[in-house]
Chains A and B, each alone.
Chain A
C-alpha cells in the first residue's frame, strides 16, 4: 500500500479539496436559494 498518503498529507489534501468542492456547492445552493426566496413568495 505504498500509494497510501501520509496522514499529514492526507489531511491537508482533504481540507484543500473540501474547501474547493464546497465553494462550488455553496455557489450552486446560493443560486437555488435565491430562486426560492425571489419567486416562491
Chain B
C-alpha cells in the first residue's frame, strides 16, 4: 500500500461521511428518518438492497472460497430469483400497502401483540449480534495484515457508519449505498481485468487449469441433506431462506417499503433477482482466477501473517522443513501448469497440486495446534493478492470497496435495529404518545446505541472465532419460523393463538433437528421451521373455530 492507496481510502471515508450527513436535511419526522416519506425511486432502493446484502465477507471471504473451493458456493443463491418473484406478488403488496414502519407491526394488526413482540425481539437479538460479526470479519483481516490494534480497525469501520446512519437515517443509508455498490462493482471488474492481464497464460489455458483442480464445478445434483452446497439445497432451502430474509427481516423489508409505490417496491427487488447470481458468480470466478494466478507465483504457506509469525516462533524447525517442502512443490506445480493443456499434462498438474495442498493442510494443522484455535486462512488469500500484486491505486480502491461493503451492510442493519427498537418497543410499550421530535431524538439515540453494541460485539467476536458460528446458527433457528408466521398471516382462517404457538413449535422443531441430527445442513432448517409453523398454526386455528 502506497501513499496514493491511503489517500484514496481517506477520500472515500470523508466523502461517505459528508454525503451521508448532508442527507439529514429535511429529516424532521420519524416517517422521513425511517422511511424517507416513502419517496425513493425503485433503482436506488434496489441497489441499496443489493448493497446491504454485500459485506466484506463477500469481497474477501467469497473470493477466498472461490480460490480454495471453486464455484460450487454459487448454488447457495439458486433460490433467490424465485423467492424475489414470489415476494413481489405476496408479501410486498401486503407490507407496502399496510403503511407500516416494520414488518412485525403488521403482525399485531393481523394477529396480536405477543406475536409482534416475540418476532421483533428475535430480530433485535440476531441482527444486533450479526451486525457485530459483519464488522469483525474485515477488522480481523485489517489488524493482521496492517498490524493495527483491533479496536482501531473496528473503529475505522464502525464510527463513520454510525455517524452517517445516526444523523441521516434511511435517506443517508440508501443514497450512500448507491455509491458504495458502484464502487464495489468497479473494484471487482478492475480486479478481474488486472488478473486477466497479469496471468502468464491464455484465458483458455487458465480455465483448463482451474477445471483440472476442480475449481469450476458449479453444480452438484446429489440429494445430500448434510451437504451445504448442492443444487437442491440451494434451490429449495435457498428459496425458503431468501423468502425469510427478504420477506421478514426488517433490514431488507425497510429498504423496499421506502419505495414510492408497490410496483416500485417490486421492481427494486427484481434488481437482486436479475443480478445476484451473475454477481456472485463473478466474485467466485475472481477467486478461481486468483488461484490460477498463484500457480505461477510463490504464495506464502500461511496467508494469515499473525498465524505465520506464531508458528514460526513456536515451531521454527518443523515450519522451516514444511516451508521448504512447500516451495519445492510450488515450483513443480508451476512447471506442470506451464505445459500446454492436454490429458497427460493436466493429470501431472493435478498430482503436483495435491502435493501443494497436502503441505498447506499440514501447515494449517500446525497453526491450529500452536494457536489452540482452528486455523483457516481463506479470508486472507484475497487481501494478500491485493496488497502484493494489484497496481498502485487499485489496491486502495479495493480496500475502500471492502470498507464500502461492510459499511453498507452495517448501516442498513443499524437503521432497521433502531426502527424496531423505537416502533415495536419504545412507541408500543414505553411511550405510545409523544411528539415526532421526541421519537426522532430517541431514534437517533437508538442508532448510536446499536452502533456501540455492534462495535463491542465485533471486538469480542474477533477474539472468539466460534461466536460467529454460534450467531449464524442462532439466526437459522428462527428465520424459517418467522417466515411461517408471515405465511400464516396471508391465510384468512389462521388465528392469533395458532400463529404464536406455531412460531414456538417451529423454533422447537428446528432446535430438535439441530441437536438431534446436527449433520443436516442449516439451509434445510428454514424449510422445517416454516412448514412446522404453518402446519401447527392451521391445526390450532381450525380447532379454535370448529363448532362444538
Residues of A within 8 A of B (CB): 1-5, 10-11, 13-14, 17-18, 21-22, 24-25, 28-29, 31-33, 35-36, 38-41
Contacts and interface: CB of A to CB of B under 8 A. Distances in A.
B281 A24 contact: no
Contacts of B88: 13-14, 17
Q: Which of B81, B96, B98 has the most CB of A within 10 A?
A: B81
A33 B376 CA distance: 29
Interface string B255-291: 0000001100010001001100110010000000000
A32 B97 contact: no
A18 B87 CA distance: 11
13 contacts: A1-B98, A4-B97, A14-B88, A17-B266, A18-B82, A18-B85, A21-B81, A25-B277, A28-B281, A35-B207, A35-B218, A36-B216, A40-B214
Nearest to A40: B211
Nearest to A31: B281
B217 interface: yes
Nearest to B343: A41
Per CB-CB distance, the 4 closest pairs between chain A and chain B, nearest first, are: A39-B211, A1-B97, A32-B218, A3-B262
Q: Is the interface of A mostly helix, strand, loop or mixed?
A: helix
Interface in B77-117: 81-82, 84-86, 88-89, 93-94, 96-98
A4 B262 contact: yes
B528 interface: no
A1 B93 contact: yes
B210 interface: yes
A41 B346 contact: yes
Contacts of A18: 82, 85
Q: Which of A4, A28, A33 has the most CB of B within 10 A?
A: A28
Contacts of A41: 211-212, 346
Given A24-B274, A32-B71, A3 B93 contact: yes
A21 B261 contact: no
Contacts of A28: 277-278, 281
Contacts of A40: 211-212, 214, 216-217
A13 B88 CA distance: 9
Contact of A21 (B93, B97, B273, B281): B273
A1 B346 contact: no
B74 A13 contact: no
A36 to B, nearest CB: 5
A39 B219 CA distance: 13
Interface in B132-164: none
A4 to B, nearest CB: 5
A22 B216 contact: no
B378 to A, nearest CB: 21
B88 to A, nearest CB: 7
A31 B86 CA distance: 25
Given A35-B218, A39-B216, 4 more contacts: A17-B270, A21-B81, A36-B211, A39-B211
Contacts of A39: 207-208, 210-212, 216
B217 A14 contact: no
Nearest to A25: B81
Contact of A32 (B74, B82, B270): B74
Interface string B214-250: 1011110000000000000000000000000000000
